[in-house]
Amino acid sequence: MIKQSLIDLESMFDIQKQDPTIKDIQDPLEFEPKSGELVFDNVKFQYNNERQILKGISFRVGAGKQMAIVGPSGAGKTTINRLLFRFYDPTEGTITIDGVDITKIRQSDLRKHVGIVPQDTVLFNDTTLAKTAQIHDKIEQFPSAWETKVGERGLRLSGGEKQRVAIARSVLKAPHVMVFDEATASLDTNTEKEIQDNLRKAFKGKITTIVLAHRLSTIIDSDEIIVVKEGAIIERGTHDELLLMNGEYKLLWDKQSTSNNMYLKETV
Ligand code: ATP
């Protein structure tokens, strides 16, 4: 336990030592979003001089709405997410929340109001929480129940359980904008559906949600889906509208049809 704690401390100090590339502007705005409307306006970005990665991304997610981003590997989905969290700033264009340019906001305020459930959840020692994410029963089984300390690598929890803790944390943080980076990738189908149902109920109309999706079955009822390819939006619409377009989305959907059929059978 001591060894693990030292490893945790060491990794925490390593993170703290890193010099952030993005810094607050002088006199950053204090930010208290009202509704959480998110707008990307002609956002362009490149990591280096070699290649432009995002080639003018524009979308608007209304307060409390859900938008999903799909597209092939390397399309730029994660990059869009990184810009939203200000790990980098756009080279052109703006990202606004409730009309406020996020580069003008104090970063700590931004992080308070934008939550994420990452693909790979790293847990520092912490007291675990929450029923919304269906992790409550598991926690009760631990000898110290709600006082259980979870190790840096989440040693006592499976991948899916770690992700549920991450969801729980994000829910408790009550952000205005929430990003799911294929949130339930490592969860089994039934649990996944239950969690998503719970989350949708908890979030509906309250939290603006972005889903970076790999499996389309989880995002069919999103308010809007954008299809990104090579850094540009090539199609957008609801699931039904996109299928009718008979384009890239339809191809992706057909490719995943075996798993979709399974999903549909379960939900009928
Ligand atoms: P996946 O579905 O595989 O996660 P993605 O759609 O999220 O892919 P990104 O991770 O946003 O795609 O990557 C978009 C492009 O940017 C890729 O060509 C990738 O190689 C490049 N890229 C990503 N991160 C960096 C970086 N730190 N430096 C330089 N290029 C990068």
**What ipTM does the predicted assembly reach?**
0.97
User: What pLDDT is recorded for position 17?
Assistant: 59
In the reported structure, the alpha carbon of residue 196 is separated from the centroid of ligand 1 by a whole-number distance in angstroms of: 27
Using one digit for the tens of pLDDT, what is the confidence trace for 40-62? 999 999 999 989 999 999 999 99
Listed range (5-9, 121-125, 140-144, 264-268) with the worst mean pLDDT = 264-268
The ligand 1 atom at the shortest distance from the C-alpha of residue 76 is 11
By CB atoms closer than 10 A (0-12, 13-18, 19+), residue 141 is exposed
> Is residue 258 in some structural domain?
yes
Confidence of residue 268 (pLDDT cuts 50, 70, 90): very low
Q: Find the CATH number of the domain harbouring 39.
A: 3.40.50.300
Confidence of residue 223 (pLDDT cuts 50, 70, 90): very high
- Indicate which residue's Cα is closest to atom 23 of ligand 1: 79
> Is residue 120 in some structural domain?
yes
Q: What is the DSSP letter of 148?
A: P
- Indicate which residue's Cα is closest to atom 15 of ligand 1: 74
> Is residue 7 in some structural domain?
no
- Indicate which residue's Cα is closest to atom 18 of ligand 1: 74
User: What pLDDT is recorded for position 229?
Assistant: 95
Mutate to test the pocket of ligand 1, among 53, 87, 182, 229 (most ligand atoms within 8 A of CB): 53
User: What pLDDT is recorded for position 231?
Assistant: 96
> Is residue 13 in some structural domain?
no
- The residue-averaged pLDDT of 122-128 equals 50
The ligand 1 atom at the shortest distance from the C-alpha of residue 79 is 11
Instruction: Pick the more confident residue, 177 or 191.
Output: 177
Mutate to test the pocket of ligand 1, among 40, 43, 47, 179 (most ligand atoms within 8 A of CB): 47
Residue 233 one-letter amino acid: I
Confidence of residue 183 (pLDDT cuts 50, 70, 90): very low
CA distance 120 to 23: 25
Residue 39 one-letter amino acid: V
- Indicate which residue's Cα is closest to atom 9 of ligand 1: 76
Whole-number Cα distances in Å, 128 to 136, 138, 152, 156, 166? 9, 11, 13, 12, 10
- The range of the structural domain enclosing residue 148 comes to 29-263
Closest CA to 93 of 249, 260, 233, 224: 233
> Is residue 23 in some structural domain?
no
Main-chain phi, psi angles of 63, to 5 degrees: -55, 130
CA distance 95 to 88: 12
> Is residue 15 in some structural domain?
no
Number of domains in the chain: 1
Check whether 190 has a pLDDT greater than 90. Answer: no
Within a 10 A sphere around the Cβ of 126, how many other Cβ atoms?
Answer: 14
- Indicate which residue's Cα is closest to atom 27 of ligand 1: 47
> Is residue 232 in some structural domain?
yes
The ligand 1 atom at the shortest distance from the C-alpha of residue 228 is 6
> Is residue 1 in some structural domain?
no
Check whether 205 has a pLDDT greater than 50. Answer: yes
Where does ligand 1 bind, in terms of residues with CB under 6 Å? 47-48, 53, 71, 73-79
Main-chain phi, psi angles of 154, to 5 degrees: 55, 45
Longest dimension (CA), the chain: 58
Tell me the three state secondary structure of residue 83.
helix
The ligand 1 atom at the shortest distance from the C-alpha of residue 231 is 14
